[in-house]
Amino acid sequence: MTHAAVIGAGSWGTALARVLADKGESVRLWGRDAGHTDEIQHTRQNARYLPGVELPRSLEATSDLAYAVRGCDLVLIVVPTHTIRDIARKIRAIGVGSETPVVSASKGIENESLMLMSEVLEQELPESAHRLAYLSGPSFAKEVVRGLPAAIVMASQDGQLADELMVRFSSERMRCYANTDVVGVEMGGALKNVIAIAAGAVDGLELGHNARAAVITRGLAEIARAAMAKGGSALTIAGLAGMGDLVLTCTGEASRNRTVGYEMGKGRTLDDVLGSMNQVAEGVRTAKSARDLGIKLGIDLPISNEVYRVLYENKPVKQAVYDLMTRTLTREY
């Protein structure tokens, strides 16, 4: 039996752990909070994030990281992006086989270094650099654990590894596609969260479907611009990790990032909104990274910049909309 270690006991980590367990794998799901993992282990459900979802016996929850990864043939990291460097260091100290695939399902850009998760992991896990992969695409955890159809993408610079993992994560309810454009897949997964905050704000302000469509489309253009500036492909941004994930995150009511924007559009403060949420909205941190990365790369990211100003400079949401609508006119391409 194959043995996968899933690092991160939130909703998405638990959903992916169940996907692998349902395929007959032995899965160890790690979480920081011993009380939480003990509860998962004894009740056979993650009531904090996915209440009512029964977990198979082949899925074991633990707060012991060394135990979780010991003897595994796959490490799947599903933690908030600001913690991934620390987790990678701990995994390296424990010792994971150099041929063991390490997959990141975390979407974001590190604030301090402006590194993608791929760059962070390559730096912190040099022995595993040739076995790194990145999972992305439109996939709400609550729908995945219900067995509803979903399509995702697995990216690795090693095409053979991407193909192997594509098969490992695929089932009759989960279709996985392989991709070798790591940068494109990661940029799509990270920046769509920022655009989703803008789309949520448009809905909160009740500005209509036309405005939402404009944010999604011009947001896609920003993501493609940033991805290409980092060496990624615009074609990837037209796929699952780009347009697919962007549409889902901008329109789905289960989207945490859209919720942040929606509630701020209704007049609530950022602190108030975040204080009422029990999960991380990655777009809040990524908005700062996007703004800083745009400056570093010398590219224009107008929607992302306005999201940053609303979140970090207390700019009124309505003023941000006005400033976007009255920018200097230009050609679409």
If pLDDT is split at 50, 70 and 90, which confidence band does 279 have? confident
Query: For residue range 112-143, what is the model confidence (pLDDT) as tens digits?
Result: 999 999 999 999 999 999 999 999 999 999 99
Query: For residue range 40-84, what is the model confidence (pLDDT) as tens digits?
Result: 999 999 999 999 999 999 999 999 999 999 999 999 999 999 999
- Looking at the structure, tell me whether residues 90 and 165 fall in a common domain: yes
333: in domain: no
308: in domain: yes
Point out the domain boundary residue: 147, 180, 213.
180
- Looking at the structure, tell me whether residues 209 and 128 fall in a common domain: no
pLDDT of 213 > 70? The answer is: yes
Residues facing residue 26 across a β-bridge: 3
Catalytic residue among 90, 142, 192, 288: 192
Could you tell me if 179 and 236 are in contact, meaning their C-beta atoms sit under 8 angstroms apart?
Answer: yes
Question: Residue 266's domain spans which residues?
Answer: 189-325
307: in domain: yes
What strands lie across the sheet with 26-30, from one edge to the other?
59-62, 26-30, 3-7, 74-77, 102-104, 132-136, 150-155, 174-179
135 Cβ contact list (under 8 Å, min separation 6): 16, 76, 103, 104, 105, 152, 153, 154, 155, 165, 169
- Looking at the structure, tell me whether residues 61 and 201 fall in a common domain: no
- Looking at the structure, tell me whether residues 176 and 34 fall in a common domain: yes
If pLDDT is split at 50, 70 and 90, which confidence band does 1 have? low
Point out the domain boundary residue: 116, 145, 180.
180
- Looking at the structure, tell me whether residues 195 and 175 fall in a common domain: no
- Looking at the structure, tell me whether residues 172 and 198 fall in a common domain: no
CA distance 238 to 242: 6
Written as one letter, the residue type at 203 is D
**Nearest Cα to Cα of residue 249 among 149, 123, 136, 157:** 136
What's the rounded mean pLDDT across residues 97-122? 96
- Looking at the structure, tell me whether residues 197 and 124 fall in a common domain: no
- Looking at the structure, tell me whether residues 82 and 141 fall in a common domain: yes
**Nearest Cα to Cα of residue 62 among 95, 102, 96, 13:** 13
pLDDT for the residue 278: 81
Percent of the chain residues past pLDDT 90, beyond the cut? 97
- Looking at the structure, tell me whether residues 240 and 267 fall in a common domain: yes
332: in domain: no
How many domains, the chain?
Answer: 2
CATH of the domain at 229: 1.10.1040.10
Query: Would residue 23 show up in a list of annotated catalytic residues for this protein?
Result: no
273: in domain: yes
Query: For residue range 222-243, what is the model confidence (pLDDT) as tens digits?
Result: 999 999 999 999 999 999 999 9
CA distance 231 to 229: 6
Point out the domain boundary residue: 180, 203, 234.
180
CATH of the domain at 116: 3.40.50.720
- Looking at the structure, tell me whether residues 11 and 151 fall in a common domain: yes
The CA-CA-CA angle for residues 44, 48, 52, to 5°, reads 50
- Looking at the structure, tell me whether residues 169 and 216 fall in a common domain: no
